[in-house]
Amino acid sequence: MTTLLGKMKYALVLLSVLLTANFMVAQALKQHVDNPGQTAMDPVPDDINHTHTGSRTQFLPAVPGGKAVVTGNGINYHGGPVLKGNPVPIYLIFYGNWAGSGSNTAASVSLVQHFISTLGNSADELIATTYGDTTGNVSGNVSLGGTAFVSSTKNLTDRSLQTTVSNVLSSGALPRDGNGVYMVLTSSNINETSGFCTQYCGFHTHATLGGVDIKYAFVGNPDRCPSGCEAQTTGPNSPATGVGGADGMINVMSHEQFEAITDPDLNAWFDTSGQEDSDKCNFNFGTVISCNTNGLCSAAGTSARAAYNQTFGNNNWLLQQQWENLAGGKCVQHL
């Protein structure tokens, strides 16, 4: 987590996790945090220089109408809202060159769109229904809200990332939706200079754009740094051996969209060390299966015996587990 234009952003932090002999070990990246050691009444940093001098203490609000929020499962509720849409629209912004080679192709775009289109109400996404606020719980349903493309060779900064989202909304390419999540996905030639591949693989944050509270995320193509952001260089949907970017990106997307829904304004759900729900299971895949001749893995994934742990939308996926806010809390693949 680090501040961004007066708001805190939560970074996807890679932990060094020994997976199985079937796939590689993710490189350990430093945790990109701005406010470690948070508590249930935590100071929220609100200054771009990360000095915390403008912090304010946020107290839990009175619960209206007796609606209880489930707590006591290793993660704390801080009073902020969750996204309760049924479905929550996920908007995709493909930045860079997506008419290239490797994983920077129209096929990768199609796979990512298909993943989001079929993620809603999956066993994985329904874990989010264990989170709520004082007016209700997350639905566990998401949908593909729309897709936009920004062709560019320029690296992104935190500021230009926000400008990219703002420009897409101002152009009308995507609707201005305060109840959705916008995901900026970059081709492998693009860097996010605040720490992609060295500090994080993705992050989510929010900002007021055009008078609307917009939730957005950055997810880079991990083929830029496979040893740091890919669990395996050949995934279950890889078009060729060693081209695991789309599968790796989808794993990061599963992390960031889950957090953006359960902690959209960065003031709802995180634990005493500042970790959000997906952070608590980062690159923890649980029990995995090797691709075989069941027909759902690509030819390259089958040949490589790529690992997967989820099946929906007529595809196999390798997705990190999510933190279940029930029964003491734990990393799970499904409820």
The 10s digit of each residue's pLDDT in 189-204 is 999 999 999 999 999 9
Q: What is the model's pLDDT at position 293?
A: 78
Tokens of 275: 């970790």
* Total domain count, the chain: 1
Of 207, 194, 208, 242, nearest to 222 by C-alpha is 242
Contact 165, 216 (CB under 8 A): yes
What residue type is assigned to position 140 of the chain? Answer: G
Q: What is the model's pLDDT at position 20?
A: 33
Q: What is the model's pLDDT at position 67?
A: 65
Q: Which domain holds residue 102?
A: 2-60+67-332
Q: What is the model's pLDDT at position 170?
A: 98
Low-confidence ranges of the chain (pLDDT < 70): 1-67
Q: What is the model's pLDDT at position 68?
A: 81
What residue type is assigned to position 269 of the chain? Answer: W
At 29, give phi and psi (nearest 5°): -110, 150
Contact 333, 321 (CB under 8 A): yes
